[in-house]
Amino acid sequence: MTDTFNALLVEQVDKKTFTRKLTTRNLTDLPAGDVVINVEYSSLNYKDGLSATGNPGVSRNFPHTPGIDAAGTVLSCDSGDFAVGDKVLVTGFDLGMNTPGGFGEKIRVPADWVVPLPQGLSTRDAMVIGTAGFTAALSVQALIDGGVKKEDGDILVTGATGGVGSVAVALLSKAGYRVVALTGKADKHAFLQSLGASEIIGRETLLENKERPMLKERWAGAVDCVGGDYLAAAIKSTRYGGAVTCCGLTASPELPINVFPFILRGVSLLGIDSVQCPMPPRLALWKKLATEWQLDCLDALTEEIELSQLDPYLDKILAGKVSGRVIVAINPQ
């Protein structure tokens, strides 16, 4: 095992100025931890863009290597939980936030962050799913656990071309639901249909009469990835007893809504967090993604780039110019 490796490094020049460059790092630059992993693939998430531009809500310690996802091979393990050569993945916890992340060829993390790669998934597949896909899976599972059945009616997915939204469309379709995808990108209708969307609507359709306290009942459930007016409108137009999951804030972190949908229609608002998800449900859901929820459209979802091509994509994802999933080939085997 060599001590040096390549990584994307974000450095702080002054309070509001950050630079990014590919550089050589050393294992001694990594924090203490149980498991050293040779990263084969990572993936690009909205949070990575925030980390790479110095957003203090994500990363505060610089120099820093972003990348909240990583999958690869165990190089060493001091805890005895994993053997050298084991295929593993890491998503969530503090990876890529203030702990050097998957945009480097090696990471060192606590053993209790590490998930054994489920049989049926490659490290590449796992990163096509990544945090975004795992968040989508948590959202779909929350709707199921919340009692939303296939026969209850349509499921809305907002921000449907994004990482979470696109996987949510595919998973809901795989699970037998009729999916209505919301997007402002007219050129992505065929893409969404290829993932399983039965109907596609524009933003203006959902937001019509958004100022009203209640809207006409339309959805059995919804997966909201963007927040703000979109989440509020989805809640206001969900049918009696339905449920809406909330996992994103790309539109806004604010929720302009009243209590009427909750107390008159019994609508449930379900918060989704993939970062601190406990290990037992985390393992169970990754197993499900490798078996009954295994997607055959992963390639259709995916653009693959190399670490040297990553820099402009960090700005593109913040600007909403990335569709589906972007995976980063770090050191593929």
Q: Are residues 101 and 196 in the same domain?
A: no
Confidence (pLDDT) at 309: 96
Q: Are residues 189 and 247 in the same domain?
A: yes
**% of residues, the chain, pLDDT over 90:** 96
Q: Are residues 172 and 255 in the same domain?
A: yes
Q: Are residues 154 and 262 in the same domain?
A: yes
Q: Are residues 136 and 93 in the same domain?
A: no
User: Are the C-beta atoms of 186 and 160 separated by less than 8 Å?
Assistant: no
In a domain, 248, yes or no: yes
Q: Who's near 199: CB < 8 A, 6+ residues apart?
A: 154, 178, 179, 180, 181
In a domain, 124, yes or no: no
Q: What is the CATH number of the domain that holds 23?
A: 3.90.180.10
Q: Are residues 51 and 76 in the same domain?
A: yes
Confidence (pLDDT) at 2: 81
Q: Are residues 145 and 261 in the same domain?
A: yes
> DSSP code of 212?
S
Q: Are residues 89 and 143 in the same domain?
A: no
Per 3-state DSSP, what percentage of the chain is helix, strand, and coil (rounded to 5)?
Answer: 30, 30, 40
pTM: 0.95
In a domain, 36, yes or no: yes
Tell whether the model's pLDDT for residue 146 goes beyond 90.
Answer: yes
Cis peptide before 278 (omega within 30 of 0): no
By DSSP bridging, strand 268-271 and strand 238-246 are parallel
Q: What is the CATH number of the domain that holds 241?
A: 3.40.50.720
State the total domains in the chain. 2
In a domain, 15, yes or no: yes
Residues 283-318 have pLDDT tens digits of: 999 999 999 999 999 999 999 999 999 999 999 999
Q: Are residues 237 and 152 in the same domain?
A: yes
The overall average pLDDT reported for the chain is 96
In a domain, 265, yes or no: yes
Q: Are residues 111 and 240 in the same domain?
A: no
User: What distances in angstroms separate CA 237 from CA 176, 189, 272, 326, one per listed residue?
Assistant: 22, 23, 20, 32
Confidence (pLDDT) at 1: 67
Tell whether the model's pLDDT for residue 330 goes beyond 90.
Answer: yes
Distance CA 26, CA 37 (A): 14
CA-based nearest residue to 125, from 264, 304, 262, 259: 304
Tell whether the model's pLDDT for residue 278 goes beyond 90.
Answer: yes
Domain containing 180 equals: 131-271
In a domain, 109, yes or no: yes
What number is the average pLDDT over the span 14-37?
94
Q: Are residues 106 and 184 in the same domain?
A: no
